[in-house]
Amino acid sequence: MNADASFDDALEQYRKSFIARLSQRCTAELARSLVDNQIMPELRSHKDELLDLKVKALVDQFTMAELRQIDAFYTSPVGQRLVSIQSNARAYTDALRRILRNASDRVNAMELASAFVPMNNQAARK
């Protein structure tokens, strides 16, 4: 997978995540419109800058021989399979974060609601 395809794949993952998050606060249609018309163009405008930073980080950490080995691995069938699995794992992680965030929001709401309910109706008896 080349850098452009990898970047585009990552952007699509972020797009889906942003839409899911915004859909909790507005309609899915509005969330899609906001993400596609406001957020994604901004992210895409920084593509070259972000790819340059990624390349610099790799070049700073690996020798040319190591970079060739990495490239050979990721262009091999098993490397492509790993990329696919990592993409699925990312979707799982995003879903897990969303579920945990929803559970946390419900707990926070319950805590807030319980602050207004007298403990064992003691306040009601006074």
Residue 81 belongs to a domain: yes
Residue 98 belongs to a domain: yes
pLDDT number for residue 66: 93
Q: How many domains does the chain have?
A: 1
The Cα-based distances of 7 to 11, 47, 54, 126 in angstroms read: 6, 8, 10, 64
pLDDT number for residue 85: 84
The model's confidence at residue 82, banded by pLDDT at 50, 70 and 90, is: confident
Q: What is the share, in percent, of the chain residues with pLDDT greater than 90?
A: 19
pLDDT, mean of residues 72-86: 88
Residue 53 belongs to a domain: yes
Convert the pLDDT of each residue in 47-67 to its tens digit.
888 888 888 888 899 999 999
Higher-pLDDT residue of 101 and 120 is 101
Higher-pLDDT residue of 75 and 86 is 75
Q: What is the spatial distance between Cα 78 and Cα 81, in angstroms, rounded to a whole number?
A: 5
pLDDT number for residue 88: 75
Residue 107 belongs to a domain: yes
Residue 12 belongs to a domain: yes
The whole domain housing 51 covers 3-113
Q: Which candidate, 51, 39, 49, places its Cα nearest to that of 12?
A: 39
pLDDT number for residue 115: 67
Residue 122 belongs to a domain: no
Q: What is the spatial distance between Cα 33 and Cα 23, in angstroms, rounded to a whole number?
A: 11
Residue 84 belongs to a domain: yes
The model's confidence at residue 29, banded by pLDDT at 50, 70 and 90, is: very high
In degrees, to the nearest 5, what angle opens at C-alpha 6 toward C-alphas 77 and 2?
65
Residue 118 belongs to a domain: no
pLDDT number for residue 114: 67
Q: What is the spatial distance between Cα 80 and Cα 44, in angstroms, rounded to a whole number?
A: 24
